[in-house]
């Protein structure tokens, strides 16, 4: 029984690992709604990789378990899902740093695009100028430029960045404005102001967190000095006075 289950899990792992048909990428993706606690954080491992690692841990746990297969098989399934969910919540420090830089550069990038539009440049030229001048915004704006280069309209190219964690809201509104003939500059001004408030709030939160985290180290440094200079002399003086 254990060999059969292990073979099934191993086959599932190979199916997850095996590259998919490139033609499948041209097919429209089927929407899948997951509970909030199962959704992966932006920048986490791809879902396929997490399933593969979860299957490996589940197989190892199933083979190493001393209990009967009837009890171990459901537990292995729970382990697979748990590993998949936990890895989806883990984001590397490098990814977090890159995202923070993108968030900090967002207001400046929007202002630069707006100024280029105000000077008479087309939207795609303004995007190209901003991408070349701000490396932190080059990743998202590069996708927009790539879409324009393959023949997409400005509205479609901006819509392709809708899933970006930093530029997603901006891209949706810009795509809507371009497609509906509305003013893009107003959209950029609104999102620039919102992004500045968000960055300022994040900076204040980070500064407060540093202050809270520094309490324990400072206490560990000053507490011995306080005991030696304030408490020990008083106790020693009291003891000396009692025995004198």
Instruction: State residue 111's pLDDT score.
Output: 94
158 and 196 share one domain: yes
Q: Choose between 40 and 197: higher pLDDT.
A: 197
Predicted local distance difference test score (pLDDT) of residue 32: 58
202/222 Cα distance (integer angstroms)? 30
The residues near 87 (Cβ < 8 Å, ≥ 6 apart) are 44, 45, 49, 50, 53, 54
- On the question of pLDDT at 3 being above 60, the answer is yes
Two tokens, residue 112: 């630069």
What pLDDT, on the 0 to 100 scale, is given for residue 128? Answer: 93
pTM of the complete model: 0.62
Asked if residue 161 and residue 84 are part of one domain, the reply reads no
Average of per-residue pLDDT across 18-30: 54
Residue 237 CA, chain-centre distance (Å), reads: 59
- Tell me, yes or no, whether 111 lies in a domain: yes
Residue 126 in any domain: the answer is yes
Per-residue HEC secondary structure of the chain comes to CHHHHHHHHHHHHHHHHCCCCHHHHHCCCCCCCCCHHHCCCCCCCCHHHHHHHHHHHHHHHHHHCCCCHHHHHHHHHHHHHHHHHHHHHCCCHHHHHHHHHHHHHHHHHHHHHHHHHHCCCCHHHHHHHHHHHCHHHHHHHHHHHHHHHCCCCHHHHHHCCCCCCCCHHHHHHHHHHHHHCCCHHHHHHHHHHHHHHHHHHHHHHHHHHHHHHCHHHHHHHHHHHHHHHHHHHHHHHHHHHHHC
Half-sphere exposure of 210 (CA within 13 A, CB side): 5
- List pLDDT tens digits, range 87-103: 888 877 777 788 888 88
Cα–Cα dist 40/49, whole Å = 12
Could you read off the pLDDT of 127-142 as tens digits, one per residue? 999 999 888 889 899 9
Average pLDDT over residues 209-226: 75
Q: What is the pLDDT of residue 16?
A: 62
**Residue 231 forms part of a structural domain:** no
* 82 in any annotated domain: yes
- What pLDDT, on a 0 to 100 scale, did the predictor assign at position 108? 93
Q: Is the pLDDT of residue 19 over 80?
A: no
Q: Are residues 127 and 53 in the same domain?
A: no
> Mean pLDDT over residues 202-208, rounded?
83
Query: 114 falls in which pLDDT band (50, 70, 90)?
Result: very high
Residue 166 domain-assigned?
yes
| Percent of the chain clearing pLDDT 90 (strictly above) | 30
125, part of any domain: yes
Calpha distance 74→72 (Å, rounded): 6
pLDDT in tens, 151-189: 999 999 999 998 888 999 999 999 999 988 888 999 999
Range of the domain at 44: 2-19+35-91
State pLDDT tens for residues 32-83. 566 777 777 777 778 888 888 888 888 888 788 787 778 788 888 888 888 8
Residues 6 and 49 placed together within one structural domain of the fold: yes
Q: Looking at the structure, tell me whether residues 122 and 87 fall in a common domain.
A: no
Q: Is residue 225 situated within a structural domain?
A: no
């Amino acid at each position: 029984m254990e060999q059969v289950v292990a073979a099934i899990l191993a086959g599932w792992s190979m199916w997850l690992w095996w590259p998919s048909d490139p033609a499948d990428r041209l097919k429209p993706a089927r929407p899948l709604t997951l509970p909030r606690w199962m959704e992966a954080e932006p920048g986490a491992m791809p879902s396929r990789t997490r399933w593969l690692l979860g299957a490996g841990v589940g197989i190892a746990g199933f083979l190493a378990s001393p209990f009967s297969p009837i009890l171990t098989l459901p537990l292995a399934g729970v382990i697979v899902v748990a590993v998949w969910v936990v890895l989806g919540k883990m984001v590397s420090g490098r990814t977090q740093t890159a995202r923070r830089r993108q968030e900090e550069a967002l207001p400046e990038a929007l202002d630069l695009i707006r100024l280029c539009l105000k000077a008479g440049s087309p939207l795609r030229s303004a995007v190209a100028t901003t991408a070349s001048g701000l490396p932190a915004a080059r990743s998202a704006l590069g996708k927009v430029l790539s879409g324009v280069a393959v023949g997409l309209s400005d509205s479609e190219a901006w819509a392709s960045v809708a899933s970006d964690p930093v530029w997603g809201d901006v891209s949706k509104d810009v795509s809507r404005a371009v497609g509906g003939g509305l003013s893009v500059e107003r959209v950029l001004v609104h999102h620039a102001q919102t992004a500045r408030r968000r960055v300022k709030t994040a900076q204040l939160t980070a500064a407060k967190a540093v202050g809270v985290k520094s309490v324990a180290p400072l206490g560990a440094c000053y507490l011995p000095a306080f005991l030696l200079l304030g408490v020990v002399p008083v106790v020693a003086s009291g003891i000396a006075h009692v025995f004198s």
